[in-house]
């Protein structure tokens, strides 16, 4: 048995990059920042690091991303890790590791800076199932508690 599951809570670094294909399919790529803060034990200085994640959304999730997601918004994402390989224009093999999203929860707008504001925002999960069709499923996952949102927002780098 094996498991390939990624869970992210972070903020969008830019608006979604949406691509429409000739067959009608839709794909959105978002950049999500997650951060960590700690105190250096030797110096006592506060330290911070930010990790950027490339997240791919397909089908209905891509439509939702295009319509609702904006730079700075906080999101909860679930998906799986996928590595792809391609050859660039100079003939060099390149690799990219992405998160292929299967669930998206909008935790607040780009202007929400407090947990209380984002707690009143849209919290219903959007989940892709089967062949990447998105299905609205209320109560798939409970909304994050205010204490969880406060802990998460305290850790965000912006």
- Name the phi and psi angles at 63, rounded to 5: -60, -45
Residue 12 pLDDT = 96
Q: Residue 140 domain-assigned?
A: no
- Please indicate, yes or no, if residue 27 is contained in any of the structural domains: yes
How confident is the model over 31-54, as a mean pLDDT? 95
- What per-residue confidence (pLDDT) applies to 111? 67
- Number of domains the chain contains: 1
Structural domain includes residue 11: yes
Beta-carbon contacts of 127 under 8 Å, excluding residues fewer than 6 positions away, are: 102, 103, 104, 134, 135, 137, 140
- Dihedral class, residue 24 (left if φ above 0, else alpha if ψ from -120 to 50, else beta): left
- Residue 22, domain member (yes or no): yes
- Asked whether residue 105 is assigned to any structural domain, the reply reads no
CB atoms inside a 10 Å sphere around CB 10: 26
pLDDT for 39 equals 94
Is 121 inside any structural domain?
Answer: no
List the CATH number of the domain containing 20.
2.40.50.140
For the chain, the average pLDDT equals 79
pLDDT higher than threshold 80 for residue 131: no
Structure confidence by residue, pLDDT tens digits, 99-122: 999 999 999 766 665 444 333 334
CB 11 within 8 A of CB 32: yes
Residue 53's pLDDT is 97
Judge whether 144 lies within some domain. Answer: no
- Please list, in sequence order, all residues whose beta carbon lies within 8 angstroms of the beta carbon of residue 101, skipping any fewer than 6 positions away: 55, 56, 57, 61, 77, 78, 79, 128
**Is the pLDDT confidence value at 45 over 80?**
yes
Question: Which SS3 state, helix, strand or coil, does residue 68 take?
Answer: helix
User: What is the pLDDT confidence band of residue 144, given thresholds at 50, 70 and 90?
Assistant: very low
Q: pLDDT at residue 81 above 70?
A: yes
Whole-number pLDDT of residue 108: 72
Residue 85 CA to residue 93 CA, distance in Å, equals 7
DSSP 23: T
Using a pLDDT cut of 90, give the percent of the chain over it: 66
- Segments forming the whole domain that contains residue 66: 1-35+48-84
């Amino acid at each position: 048995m094996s498991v390939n599951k990624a869970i992210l809570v972070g903020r969008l670094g830019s608006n979604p990059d949406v691509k429409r294909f000739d067959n009608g399919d839709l794909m959105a790529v978002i950049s999500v920042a997650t951060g960590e803060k700690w105190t250096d034990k030797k110096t006592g200085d506060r330290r911070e690091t930010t990790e950027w994640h490339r997240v791919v959304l397909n089908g209905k999730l891509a439509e939702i991303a295009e319509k609702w997601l904006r730079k700075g918004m906080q999101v909860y994402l679930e998906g799986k890790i996928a590595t792809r390989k391609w050859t660039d224009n100079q003939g060099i093999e390149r690799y990219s590791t992405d998160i292929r999203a299967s669930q998206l929860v909008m935790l607040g707008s780009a202007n929400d800076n407090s947990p209380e504001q984002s707690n009143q925002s849209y919290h219903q999960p959007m989940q892709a199932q089967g062949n990447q069709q998105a299905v609205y499923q209320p109560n798939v996952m409970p909304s994050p508690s205010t204490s969880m949102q406060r802990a998460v927002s305290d850790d965000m780098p912006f």
